Chains A and B, each alone.
Chain A
């Protein structure tokens, strides 16, 4: 940080908090990568390992929660420090939710591995790449308090939403073509949804970073490229 607190142990406490967050972020990134990989490679064993890794993320979230309470009680942070501490709690929550979604993806990877290969599955790694980049960037942005980078992540959610939308339509079409695809497609639909939700949490984190650094909410309507809530696919195509 540019200028340090007069009380050095205060800095140490805050650094411990951001350190915990960085570790948690890393774990979530790895979990997400594992889940995507498991889906793409139909690797049930990897998927199971990934599901198990989630426990560590939950532990870290609890640890962060404790650290936040500790700093609040002992240091009574104000201004930027207060925003950092509260923001950390929020980011930890977002990361935990993201990890849960990754875990869900991994669970479905186990199921998908039993089913025949579906063509649209190729879209999952692409979405995965985007969301992993978003997560990585937003964690970097947090570490560097880089608002521009955070805003970039925030804007990128549109891309992800669009990908989700097109996959949605593709899968619906697929299911209409052959009812035997319904099981696999539904799983894939949920996988895609989960990945899209992780993207939403990444944008939440980006907003939190903006608040931490600037003290004001990120203004303006969030870009929405996802039309799935409204999209219908006509029976006739």
Chain B
């Protein structure tokens, strides 16, 4: 019996795959006792969490709870804020990303990011995609770049919509398409982890649905961390959910558990709409 046949039979033989806990996947990013100070403000207090491979981990919590701050620790975007000071350890594949030997430019190639507002460069769709691979030297010939563009746009479920107008400006696309373009731009550099900071907050429900579908598909190849204000979205797209409150990580669990039976009162209060 070859592997293919095995695969074909597996689901029938192990129907339990659906209820295998997401917690059983390998750890991609291990965070321990992460603290962030902005000047004198203690923005993040002793956060410890394991982010698992090929999973969507959602960070939820009220505004100012530190979820975005924490997300930005994962690719050291906080470095750009002069007053920010990060302590603790964040291991990406066992390597401390705050190690002085780690180059931040390389780190950000490994940990891509998608932002709240779709922010394509004011250049053509094609240029938007190839920018990352070009600065990281991932390709050199036109053919290679073309291949990356097609693969990334297909990966972001945008290829069919834009393949005939790759030279038109990316800013001319609709909001949802722009955000998928940004996702395509992020995956063009072949990252391991993709961070998404409220990626759908500026989109209409249909565009949001497209992006959510895409996130679910991306899970096959990437580890995804998403910050969202929309709890339904966290419930829809994520396997693991972490609830942040006042700079602390209150609870982290399988998404299904968080949304049916959270352990902590504060989580319960927040997701049911009781917390102010």
Question: From residue B276, how far is it (CB to closest CB) to chain A in Å?
Answer: 6
Residue picked from B232, B261, B268, B276, most chain A C-beta under 10 Å = B261
Question: From residue B228, how far is it (CB to closest CB) to chain A in Å?
Answer: 14
Complex CA distance for A77 and B258, rounded to whole angstroms: 13
| In the complex, B262 has a CB within 8 A of chain A | yes
| In the complex, B172 has a CB within 8 A of chain A | no
Q: Which of B218-261 contact A (CB under 8 A)?
A: 231-232, 235, 258-261
Across-interface contacts of A79 in B (CB, < 8 A): 258-262, 267-268, 271-272
Complex CA distance for A177 and B259, rounded to whole angstroms: 60
| In the complex, A83 has a CB within 8 A of chain B | yes
| In the complex, A73 has a CB within 8 A of chain B | no
Instruction: Known contacts A76-B232, A78-B235; decide if A3 and B261 are in contact (CB<8 Å).
Output: no
B: residues with CB less than 8 A from A are 231-232, 235, 258-262, 267-269, 271-276
**Contact, CB under 8 Å: A3 / B259:** no
**Contact, CB under 8 Å: A10 / B273:** yes
Q: Mark A1-25, 1 if CB is under 8 A from B, else 0.
A: 0011111001000000000000000
**Contact, CB under 8 Å: A80 / B268:** yes
Across-interface contacts of B235 in A (CB, < 8 A): 78
Of all chain B residues, which has the CB nearest A214? B261
**Contact, CB under 8 Å: A216 / B261:** yes
Count contacts on A: residues with CB < 8 A to the other chain. 17
**Contact, CB under 8 Å: B273 / A215:** no
**Contact, CB under 8 Å: B274 / A83:** no
Of all chain B residues, which has the CB nearest A10? B273
| In the complex, A82 has a CB within 8 A of chain B | yes
**Contact, CB under 8 Å: A6 / B232:** no
Instruction: Known contacts A78-B231, A79-B268, A80-B268; decide if A7 and B260 are in contact (CB<8 Å).
Output: no
| In the complex, A81 has a CB within 8 A of chain B | yes
Of all chain B residues, which has the CB nearest A4? B274
Complex CA distance for A203 and B227, rounded to whole angstroms: 42
Across-interface contacts of B231 in A (CB, < 8 A): 78
Q: Which of A1-59 contact B (CB under 8 A)?
A: 3-7, 10
Complex CA distance for A7 and B258, rounded to whole angstroms: 21
**Contact, CB under 8 Å: A83 / B260:** yes
Question: From residue A177, how far is it (CB to closest CB) to chain B in Å?
Answer: 55
- 30 cross-chain CB contacts under 8 A: A3-B269, A5-B274, A6-B273, A6-B274, A6-B275, A6-B276, A10-B273, A77-B272, A78-B231, A78-B235, A78-B259, A78-B260, A78-B272, A79-B258, A79-B260, A79-B261, A79-B262, A79-B267, A79-B268, A79-B271, A79-B272, A80-B268, A80-B272, A81-B272, A82-B259, A82-B260, A83-B260, A83-B261, A215-B260, A216-B261
Q: Which of A191-236 contact B (CB under 8 A)?
A: 214-216
Complex CA distance for A81 and B235, rounded to whole angstroms: 15
